[in-house]
Amino acid sequence: MRSIKLGTRNSPLALWQAREVERNLQNRNYSTEITPIVSSGDKNLQQPLYAMGITGIFTKDLDIALLNHEVDIAVHSLKDIPTELPENIEIIAVLKRDFPQDVLVRKPDAETLDLRDLKIATSSLRRRAFWLKEFPDTEFSDIRGNVQTRLRKLEEQDFDATLFSLAAIERMGLDIRYEAIPIMISAPAQGVVAITGRSDDPEMKEVFKEINHLPTQICINIERNFLNTLEGGCTAPIGAFAEINDKNEIRFRGRLCSLDGQNCIETDEIFAYKEGVNYGKKFAEEVIRNGGREIMQQIKTQL
């Protein structure tokens, strides 16, 4: 078989994820090649690609490389992949979820401050709204960039703390202090590495069948269906987390909040999983009936 070309973004975390997928392939005696994708600006794209609804801000360049046959598969943080995928692209495998939680990282001189007194840097609507639910007077700053960039900004700029996905810290082996924040519910599919491939490439789909982690796939399908049903094309503060407990049942927690965090609807369900039931859609429709429709309409007028 030919060497498998893995497409990835060029950030340190993205390259870690690609190497983790590469390790899984090499353990099964496949030869591999990692291809960092930096920019789509100089690609000679055919018009049909533009019409495929490629919307993911972090996935667009890799989608294009995949569709242009420059790579065989693409490796992503699953929470970055839109729930509506471009034509001829699908998620063909997920690795076992490792660290789904959000954590708080403070400046050293802010370690004694009460949570309600912290000035927080985050550009995530979900993290802002969920924090405001508990601490409505919090002041926020915008912050963007990869993990290293945000840590540098935390040192240099005028705020007390920022919020990270624990997966980013643990995967990079960063020696920084963080604290758990139980008030948060993770973004749908947070802490999961996903592999996308072309729908018309049965060879790659067969290769990744044995790598795919089925319990993780079951949980993230519930989370992403919950997100997809609620969103309706609108970005909103939505959390969703499903996990399989020691009784082989699934516990699902979902939350939708207004942007100011003061109007939130939550669901917390434990159930025996049956294949073929769209649990995510079912729970999202309950949220919509319980006031979620009004929250989503309000958000659409504010963004």
Full DSSP string of the chain? -PPEEEEE-SSHHHHHHHHHHHHHHHTTT--EEEEE---STT----HHHHTT----TTTHHHHHHHHTTS-SEEEEEGGGS-SSPPTTEEEEEEPPP----EEEEE-GGGTTS-GGG--EE---HHHHHHHHHH-TT--EE---S-HHHHHHHHHHSS-SEEEEEHHHHHHTT-----EE-TT--PPTTTT-EEEEEETT-HHHHHHHHTT--HHHHHHHHHHHHHHHHHHTT----EEEEEEE-TTS-EEEEEEEE-TTSSSEEEEEEEE---TT--HHHHHHHHHIIIIIHHHHHHHHHH-
Q: Are 189 and 219 within 8 A, CB to CB?
A: no
Q: Which residue carries 């996308």 as its tokens?
A: 196
Cα angle 39-40-46, degrees, rounded to a multiple of 5? 170
201 counts as catalytic? no
Please give the backbone phi and psi of residue 29, each rounded to the nearest 5 degrees, phi first.
70, 30
Choosing from 63, 80, 142, 268, the catalytic residue is 80
Backbone angles phi, psi at 7, to 5 degrees: -90, 140
Active site residues: 80
